[in-house]
Chains A and B, each alone.
Chain A
Amino acid sequence: MRADLLADPVDGVDEVLVAVAGVDQALAAGLLRPQPAQVAGLAVLADAVAGSPLGARVAEAAEKAAAGAAGEEHFVSLAVARIALLGSVHDALMVRVGQATGRAPGDSSGSVAGGGQAENLVLAARSWLADLARAGWQGIDHDLVSGAEPVISALLPEPRLRRLAALLDGFAAELAASCPGSALERIPSRRWGDLWSRAMLLTLPGATEVPVGTVTGRLLPLGVDLHEHATAAQAQVHAVFEPADGGTPRLVRASVSAPKPDTIIGAGIWQLLRPHLSLLAAVSEGRSMELADMPITGEGDLLWRDEHARLGEPADPFATARVVLPAASALPTAPLDRHPARIAVPVFLEGYFAEQAGEALTFSLAGQPVVVDTDRVPAAGPLTPEAVATSNACIGLVRWDAGVFRVQPLAVETTVRKKVVALHAGAWAGGAVDKAGVKAEKAATDAATVLRERAGRLLRK
């Protein structure tokens, strides 16, 4: 990998982010009675998309919002403009990642049909999001934030609406813990702007519809990426798929997610997800899987169904990373998913020097440092920041946030008593066998047992 290319600034990104900051600043103070600074911020946003098909709608929305008279459709337009801008940042960053890794990003193609009638439940979410925008982050209070609860409770049981539900649930929890907004010393404005605008987007009918095909061939796992907030968790297995017909290998992902009580954490999350994705067991056992007619989206997300997969031969992820990964091609990100936070490109690194300076760890590749993000490595697993800092080879994901590319380790090879040992972040995903893992599993089982017992006894009364 060309680490120097990751360190160079990407042209145009800073300018786009200024326009994003304009709308974020407006959202911080709220759009009930906008002040001149906010009006200016909205104008910058409208200018930035003026030459695009969104131009007229966003200009109108910015004007209405500046007058404190924005309706829900205007807030949707502002959210969409913000997302479009970050989509362009995503594209520019992906071109750079492609140059650094030598893998061309997939051609972005396809469009979203959209249209149709939004369900009442989704409209209720949109109405809450509009109220949030009017109050602003500095104006949030418990009454406003708790208004999301009935909406979230109604959205959650419906897997079709899970994207919106999981997002709102995590977002509302952060807002609730930050009330009253008037007392906030600092505001995560980029983040909350992202979460708010994505939620708005997901209230548009058809926004989550994706084209689906099927694939048959061999799946070689690289590693597991975990996501979690207090009441939801998702495991994403990054893998290389080799088509049975001998076509080009492709980078794909398989995901499993579930809502959870906030006391199910650590190994408990693996236990929760494990029964729904047989691939997690294959990952822990170091095996490949044979897929037959497995559904897959246009951006390379397998829509996993256990009956379309069976356990295959042993497959060492480091062998996959060394031999197959360089030849694998990437599929294009779905148009509406284009956002810098969505960038997670598998890479294999070796021949680096790990350098620890205080909290910060870097891998020095040909004299060029790459920032290593060990904070994303889940605590429930054998991979630790210490192991990463003494590693010789690493399977990771290239990510970008707050202006910096980072590598998130999924697995490392390190030398212990003159022997090469591989440590995987997702080693416990399918079941832990080492001593620390077994102990963590036991504690997690106890917690889940208590909750299930309490639910069984008290819930249906």
Chain B
Amino acid sequence: MLKVRYFAWLRQRVGRAEEEVDPPREIATVRALAAWLGERHPRFAEALAEPGVVRFAVNRAYVAEDAVIRPGDEVAFFPPVTGG
């Protein structure tokens, strides 16, 4: 099982802030997980299709798209940040 979290307008597009998911074993990277989630949430897939719009974090640290995910990880997807 993985915990997936969404933030800001991505959260609104998906329609939820977080979910527990159990993807098939071949879903081994953040990129693969994002594509798999996109099949369940079409508006998330739309955001993923725009280059550079979606940022990725695993266990509360930024990672690249090819980062490996493991059971129990917390994976977060969010738009570019606008704090400060």
Partners in one complex: no
Q: Which residues of B contact A (CB under 8 A)?
A: none
